[in-house]
Structure 1
Amino acid sequence: MDPIRNPYAPGAGQRPPELAGRDRELAQFEITLERVAAGRPDRSMVLSGLRGVGKTVLLNALRSQAVGRAWGTGKVEARPEQSIRVPLAQAVHAAVREVAHRHRDPDRVDEVVSVLKSFALRTGVEGRKGTRWTPPVDVVAARGRADSGDLELDLVELFTDVALLAQDLGVGIALFVDEMQDVAGPELGALCGAGHEISQQGSPLLLVGAGLPHLPVALAASKSYAERLFRYVSVDRLPREMADRALQVPAATEDVEFEPSALDELYRMTDGYPYFVQAYGKVTWDVAVGTPITAADVREAAPEAEAELALGFFGARFERATPAERDYLTAIADLGADRGDAAVPTAEIARHLARRPQSLSPARDGLIKKGLVYAAERGSVAFTVPHFGRFLRAR
């Protein structure tokens, strides 16, 4: 069929033509936006799950909802070894710009921007790497407000002022943090602490995070009350009905249908993981000669889809690992073959490699920092990428 009309969109954070299976989360966030704007308390949200399940897509969809309600919004993508202060300052600046032009008191806006500037200029005080950045605004930085160097205290003061600015307009501020597991523990605690204080004040500001499956544990470790501060949403693979919907609805816009056996085959190959659904759907469309798409089309397209995933989705990640880390990954894959690639105890990995557990700690820690594995529970690790074990065993 015509590849130009191909409706499927595999890509990092790229919204698919049909965002299937996320209606509940979108509906809940609409309620949260309404409640917070009306001065009623509600919890912020944290999304967690493996790579390729659509966390970033859902995070962006939630942000679009806030934009649609005229909220000020900003987004951060956390990175290892980088302080969160400057990215947060940039996100807050974006949020302020979205509401400032509607505010009737320019002096009030300048006061808030001056506090933001003082916050941004404290770059480096947390002792972590970060790029210095100054908001492109013609105001003098405030003194004695959000500039103490204590990130939690500074965030409380900054968030308070920014939220009140939005409250003047009957809206709020929503800040979205992707790859939240990469925020260092002390800074994660500062974020939670500031969010907790803002929530107690009843200020209209929401923090929405997304990260790998161990993010809820990291948040709980940073602040004991974090488990009550957020509404936790586990973003998982799509059930069969939703996976079919993700394929059928876009195809229907082009007057194309799938045979039931083709949908059976696609679900067997993708396990309902959204990224794989899009990847296999795209290649299958290009291979098929017409409608309806058949199981034979799916099977013919499978090697090409697998080759693309092996090169881009899996291979690029594997190439980032050192030789010692690759041995560790291969051991997890070998041991996970009979357990559906579930978490593997680190002690078993050490026995498999005939090594002392302590000698493998650098490889394990390096893989966690690179986002290839996560500590599923105490004393065990699992892949952050679905089907990664299958890929390694096939090499």
Structure 2
Amino acid sequence: MFKINPYRPGAGLMPMYIAGRDEDIESVEEMFNALSMNIPTPSIVFSGLRGVGKTVLINKLQGIAEEKDIFCRHIEVEERNDFISQIATCSQAFLRKVSAKEKFKHLIQKPLDAIKSLVVSFDANDNTFSLSLQEKELYKSNSLTQSLTEVFVNIGEIAYKTEIPICFFIDEIQYMKQKELGSLIAALHRTNQLGYPVMIVGAGLPKIYKMLSEEKSYSERLFVYKEIGSLTYEQSCKAIEEPAKKFSVEYSKDAIDKIVDVTKGYPFFIQQLCQVVYNNTNEKTIQKSHIENCMNDFLKILDVGFFKVRYERCSDGEKRFIFAMVKCGELPCTISNVAKNLGKKVKTISPTRAQLINKGIIFPIRHSELDFTVPEFDNYIRRLGEYKQWNESGLDE
């Protein structure tokens, strides 16, 4: 029999109640108010581990921006996808919106030419424009930064003249190629200098702060950085209790304490555990014993649906690097300790470290320290038979 469940674990799924993000939402909403008044405003980037609700947050913010008649588009950057084609498509969509109004049609051609130049030069697989060989040569450009800046400046000028501000919501920024990221920063910087209402709300793993600051020195003034972490105890209580209130279900104090202890306050884990418990409990008051009875099911779902998919993306050498991190005991750990656990020199394992960072499995903290981008990933590894066998055998093969 189907049972309505108020909890919604999943990649970017909007929970019935967003806990602990009120201050962030209110702050960005004020930015949107400025943008709606044609006042350029800093862009904002949220960083954090997997499962802390970054995508949920920017999806919520996009809904708020759309209510204020800001032109919005969502871009999810993928490892093997081309960001340029996506930003070009979003820019074209803005021009289509503007051209729907007769009095603005004359503004379209110049930015359209800029988009053509961007696509023709930097996205060979894009078939958006059907151009002759002569036209393709005409639109070719040698500089990605120059081409992307032309696009942003031109659509920004139209946004200003038509009073239709623009906000691009970019998720998984850490997968952007460094050249694309540098060009995006430069394009946004120039657009803001000219006073045009174009803004970016971005999200990604913790390494994006270093990526942005290393690419352009002025990026620290261009973006507001906000780290999104686990919820406090009070915020976790609301995430647990509020969705169930609509169904007249409550939690005992020790049940809440157990959930917070198990999930460490990570929003995705709270949603997942509460969903399992709610499905398997028919009482109006959920007790600690109900939580304990569902722990095996909860861990099994996490292991198969959340952890395993990331673990299986790793090569054998990368898995052994991960094993060596877990063997360090406490995280974050130094790369020298990882090398020691592998019986190798630091310089020989540095390429594997770089590969795992690029895949979004680990991230650097401070000097030479590493941690996993997925909360509780180390405990998942400890449950694996492969790890236990490797740990008992000693050094790397």
**Percent identity at matched positions?**
30
Q: What do the CA deviations read for 1:124-167 (whole angstroms, capped 9, x no partner)?
A: 4xxxxx74241699xx989978x523122112211122122222
SS of 2:46 mapped into structure 1: strand
**Residue-by-residue CA offset, 1:150-205 (whole Å, 9 max, x unaligned):** 12211221112212222233231111211111112222111111111111111000
Q: Does 1:346 align with 2:345?
A: no
User: Contact (CA 8 Å) 1:103, 1:169: kept in 2 or not?
Assistant: no
Matched, 1:64 2:63: yes
Q: Which residue of 1 aligns with 2:216?
A: 223
Change (3 A) 1:37 1:289: closer
SS in structure 1 at match of 2:200: strand
Shift, 1:223, TM fit = 0.4
C-alpha change, 1:293 and 1:100, in structure 2 (3 Å) is: farther
> Is this contact kept in 1: 2:311–2:319, CA < 8 A?
yes
The aligned counterpart of 2:73 is 74
- Structure 2 vs 1, CA of residues 277 and 94 (structure 1 numbering), >3 Å: closer, same or farther? farther
Q: Which one of 236, 251, 257 corresponds to residue 264 of structure 1?
A: 257
Distance change >3 Å, CA 377–CA 393, structure 1 → 2: same
Q: CA separation in 2, counterparts of 1:287 and 1:39?
A: 52
Distance 1:143 1:5 in 2: 58
Counterpart mapping for 1:348-367 below 5 A: 348-367=337-356
CA contact (8 A) 1:74 1:93 kept: no
| Matched-pair contact (CA < 8 Å) for 2:20–2:235 | yes
| Distance in 2, Cα, partners of 1:361 & 1:259 | 49
In the alignment, which residue of structure 2 is the partner of 1:134? 128
Unpaired runs of 5+ in structure 2? 385-397
Task: Give the match's secondary structure for 2:164.
Answer: coil
1:122 deviates by 2.0
- Equivalent position of 1:384 in the other structure: 373
1:370 aligns with 2:364: no
User: Do the aligned residues in 2 keep the contact of 1:78 with 1:183 (CA within 8 Å)?
Assistant: yes
Aligned to 1:127: none
Q: How many residues are paired up?
A: 382
Do the aligned residues in 1 keep the contact of 2:38 with 2:163 (CA within 8 Å)? no
Distance (Å, rounded) in 1 between the aligned partners of 2:114 and 2:183: 18
Q: Counterparts of 1:197 and 1:289 in 2: how far apart (Å)? A: 58
Q: For residue 75 of structure 2, what is the amino acid of its counterpart?
A: V
For the 8 Å contact 1:175–1:207, the answer to whether it is kept is: yes
Match of 2:177 in 1: 184
Given the alignment of the two structures, is residue 333 of structure 1 paired with residue 326 of structure 2, yes or no? yes
**How far apart in 1 are the matches of 2:35 and 2:182?**
23
Unaligned runs of 5+ in 1: 125-129
1:1-395 equivalences in 2 (<5 Å): 4-80=3-79, 82-102=81-101, 104-124=103-123, 131-134=125-128, 148-335=141-328, 337=329, 339=330, 342-395=331-384
* Offset, 1:3: 5.1
Displacement of 1:206:
0.4
TM normalised by structure 1 equals 0.90
Task: Give the whole-Å Cα distance in 1 for the aligned partners of 2:341 and 2:308.
Answer: 23
Structure 1 SS opposite 2:72: strand
Maintained 8 Å contact 2:36/2:68 = no
